[in-house]
Amino acid sequence: MKTIKGPAIFLAQFLSDEPPFNDLKSICKWAKGLGYVGVQIPTNDSRCIDLVKAAESKTYADELNGLINECGLEITELSTHLQGQLVAVNPAYDTLFDGFAPEVVKGNPKARTAWATEQLKLAAKASKNLGLNACATFSGSLLWPIIYPWPQRPVGLIDGGFEELAKRWLPILNTYEECGINLCYEIHPGEDLHDGITYEMFLHKVNDHSRACLLYDPSHFVLQCLDYLSYIDHYHARIKMLHVKDAEFNPTGKQGVYGGYQSWIDRAGRFRSLGDGQVNFKSIFSKLTAYDFTGWAVMEWECCLKHPEQGAREGAQFIKDHIIEVTDNAFDNFALVFKNETLNRTVLGLD
C-alpha cells in the first residue's frame, strides 16, 4: 500500500480578477499558506498555463514547474474539463457551450470539435513535458437531452451515440498512450459518461483502451443516489485521479433527483464544502488506500452556502485528517510465529 498524496487544490474555482487570485504565483503562495502541497491546473485559463508552449517546449514546462516548486507546491495534474465537453456537443446545447470556445470557432460545431480535440492532444504532450501521469477531462455528451426520454428513444440511438463518441475520442486516447498519460474522465451528470454503466458502454466502444481512466468524485454519485463506495470496488483499477468534494441529498415530497428547476441552494441535491455534506470520506480514503491508489487527493470547492476562501482553508486540514499514513507492518506481528514447516505440519495433524 501507498500513502495518498495531498492535500492539493483545483485552482479553477478560485481564479478571479482580484489578487491573490489573478496570477499563478500569487494564488500558489496563497494555497501554500493554507497548507496545500499540490495544485491542479485548469488549461483553459492563460493566467495558469500556455498550453501550446507547454506541449511544444520542455524548457517552458520546466520553467512552469520551477515557478510552482518555488512556492512549495507540485503540479498534480492538468484539467481539460471545458475542452473535453466540446469534443461532443448535442445541437440542443450548441449556443450555450459556445461560451467555452474561442471566438474563431463559435457558431461552427465542426470547427469547435476540431479545436477541442487538438486541445486534448496538446494537454497530453504538455503533461508529458511536465512529468505528470494523468489528465482530467469530461467526455462531452451527444445523448444527455434524452437521458429520461419521452417519446421513447428510436431503436439504435444509444448505440449510435456511443459509436460516435468513441470515434471522436479514440484518436485522443491514442495520443495519450503515445505520451504515457492516463486520461481520466470525471463521471458527471450532463456527460454521456455519468455512471458506471455508461462508462462501461464507452469502454467497450474504445476497445477497453488502457488510457480511458477515471476521475473519482463521490459528490456526483450522492446526487444520483448511486453507491459511491461499491463503485470503487468495481472500478478501482481505472481510478487514477480523485476530487475530494462533498454533497448532500435531501429529497422531499416536492422534489428529488431532478431538482424542480431550482437554484442550487433550493435543490434536494446540493454540493457542499468538505465536512458539511453526507459523503463518507473515511470509508473512501480507506478503500482507495487498500486498493493502492497512488494519486493525489485534490479538493474541488463547490458550495452554494460557504465562502470559497473558508472552504479552501477548512479543506486543506480536512484532507490532511483523512489521508491514511499506511503501516509497514501488521498490528499482530508481535505474536508472529515465523515459518516452520515442521510446526505447520504438526498443527495440521500431518505428522
Sequence-ordered list of residues with C-beta below 8 angstroms from that of 314, at least 6 positions apart, any chain: 273, 274, 275
Structure pTM? 0.95
User: pLDDT at position 335, please?
Assistant: 63
Q: Closest by alpha carbon to 215, among 79, 314, 117?
A: 79
302 touches 271 (CB < 8 A): yes
* Position 316, amino acid: A
253 touches 294 (CB < 8 A): no
Sequence-ordered list of residues with C-beta below 8 angstroms from that of 320, at least 6 positions apart, any chain: 6, 7, 35
User: pLDDT at position 66, please?
Assistant: 98
User: pLDDT at position 334, please?
Assistant: 64
Q: Closest by alpha carbon to 219, among 280, 146, 171?
A: 280
Residue in the block written with cell 500500500 = 1
Q: Give me the domain span that covers residue 162.
A: 5-347
Planar angle of CA 18, 23, 27, nearest 5 degrees: 85
Residue 277 DSSP SS3: coil
pLDDT tens, per residue, the chain with 351 residues = 899 999 999 999 999 999 999 999 999 999 999 999 999 999 999 999 999 999 999 999 999 999 999 999 999 999 999 999 999 999 999 999 999 999 999 999 999 999 999 999 999 999 999 999 999 999 999 999 999 999 999 999 999 999 999 999 999 999 999 999 999 999 999 999 999 999 999 999 999 999 999 999 999 999 999 999 999 999 999 999 999 999 999 999 999 999 999 999 999 999 999 999 999 999 999 999 999 999 999 999 999 999 999 999 999 999 999 999 998 877 766 667 777 888 888 888 997
Burial (CB count <10 Å: 0-12, 13-18, 19+), residue 110? exposed
In the chain the beta strands, taken as DSSP E runs, fall at 5-10, 38-42, 74-80, 134-137, 182-186, 212-216, 239-244, 246-249, 269-272, 296-299
User: pLDDT at position 22, please?
Assistant: 97
User: pLDDT at position 32, please?
Assistant: 98
Domain count within the chain: 1
Q: Specify the CATH number for the domain of residue 82.
A: 3.20.20.150
What gap in Å lies between CA 106 and CA 99, rounded to an integer?
8
What gap in Å lies between CA 39 and CA 5, rounded to an integer?
12
* Helix, strand, coil % in the chain, rounded to nearest 5: 45, 15, 40
